[in-house]
Each structure stands twice: as C-alpha cells, then as structure tokens.
Amino acid sequence: MQFPQSLSRNQLPLFDAFLASTIAFAEDPASQEETFSEVSLRGAAGHCLTLLAPMLRELSEKNDERWLTLIAPPASLTQSWLRDAGLNRERILLLQPRSGQSALQLAQEALKLGRSHTVVSWLHPLPQHARQQLEAAARTGKAQSLNISLG
C-alpha cells in the first residue's frame, strides 16, 4: 500500500520544531563553552589503551601552540607507548603530583595556567564537586579538561 505524499512539503511538521531547536542550539555561544568531558572505559588495560590511542593522538596533533598535558597517567602509558601509538611527543607533557599534592590539585593548576589546550586526568571516582572544580579551572585557563575513568 502506498500513501500519497505532497511534493510541496519537504519535512514532516514533527521534525520542524526539532530542526529549529537544533539550529538554535548549535548557534548558542554558551553551548560552545563546554570545558569538561569524561570517558569511561572498562576491560583489559591493553584494550583500553588501544581505544584511547586515536583520541590522544588527535589531541597531540591539535593545531594549538599549547600542550596536551597528561596528569598522573597509568603506569602502562609510557614514553614508548606514546611513540608506538603515533602521538606527537613534542607536544605532550607528562606530569605526576608531588608529595602532598593530589592529581586533582595538579590538574586544576595545569588547567588554570592556560598553557595546555587539554589536560587529561585519570581520576576515578570523580565526585561532582571535583568535576565542578575542573570545569572552573578549565574556564579560567581557556582549556579543556578530559577525565578518563579506567575500570
């Protein structure tokens, strides 16, 4: 059975409102101010790193003069892994917290300084207040905060 369709109507009315809201959302400057993202991976460490490699590679090649900073990465994320994964090691800082300093505090400091386009942390679990602190620090430094939760 076929239903006659009007050739003068390109979209169903149901989608008109959706498309209008999508366009308004894409043009909203506040929507472009997102400063925090989180990726959660579960499984074998090797598989998780394989999934992370393209994401980190893309960030290491970002057309930005600032650094990609990795805060307290897992022990398996070594200089040789970075090289084998094809990351631009000349644009990456690997930082470990000093004694008396947490990885969260170090990530906040790196974000606030604004010398990194993206600061990647491995904080698990990440409470809501810590997420808000990272967002605020990223806004201050005009950077992006990416938390990777491995489990």
What average pLDDT is seen over the chain? 84
- Residue 93 falls within a domain, yes or no? yes
- Residue 76 falls within a domain, yes or no? yes
- Residue 117 falls within a domain, yes or no? yes
- Residue 145 falls within a domain, yes or no? yes
Q: Read off the pLDDT of each residue in 2-15 and give the average, rounded to a whole number.
A: 48
Q: Are strands 67-71 and 92-95 parallel, antiparallel or unpaired?
A: parallel
Alpha-carbon torsion angle 49, 75, 107, 120, nearest 10: -10
- Residue 140 falls within a domain, yes or no? yes
Boundaries of domain holding 50: 36-150
| Distance (Å, whole) CA 56 – CA 93 | 12
| Selection from 118, 112, 114 nearest residue 88 by Cα | 118
pLDDT range class, residue 25, cuts 50, 70, 90: very low
Give me the percent of the chain exceeding a pLDDT of 70.
Answer: 78
Say how many C-beta atoms besides its own lie within 10 A of residue 85's C-beta: 17
3-state secondary structure string, 27-49?
Answer: HCHHHHHCCEEEEEECCCHHHHH
Predicted TM-score (pTM) above 0.85 = no
pLDDT range class, residue 46, cuts 50, 70, 90: confident
- Confidence at residue 4, expressed as pLDDT on a 0 to 100 scale: 52
Q: What's the CATH number where 121 sits?
A: 3.40.50.300
- Residue 65 falls within a domain, yes or no? yes
Q: Read off the pLDDT of each residue in 110-135 and give the average, rounded to a whole number.
A: 96
Task: Give tens-digit pLDDT for 56-112.
Answer: 999 999 999 999 999 999 998 999 999 999 999 999 999 999 999 999 999 999 999
- Residue 5 falls within a domain, yes or no? no
As for how many domains the chain has, the answer is 1
Say which range, 8-12, 116-120, 146-150, has the weakest mean pLDDT.
8-12
pLDDT range class, residue 45, cuts 50, 70, 90: confident
| Distance (Å, whole) CA 147 – CA 71 | 10
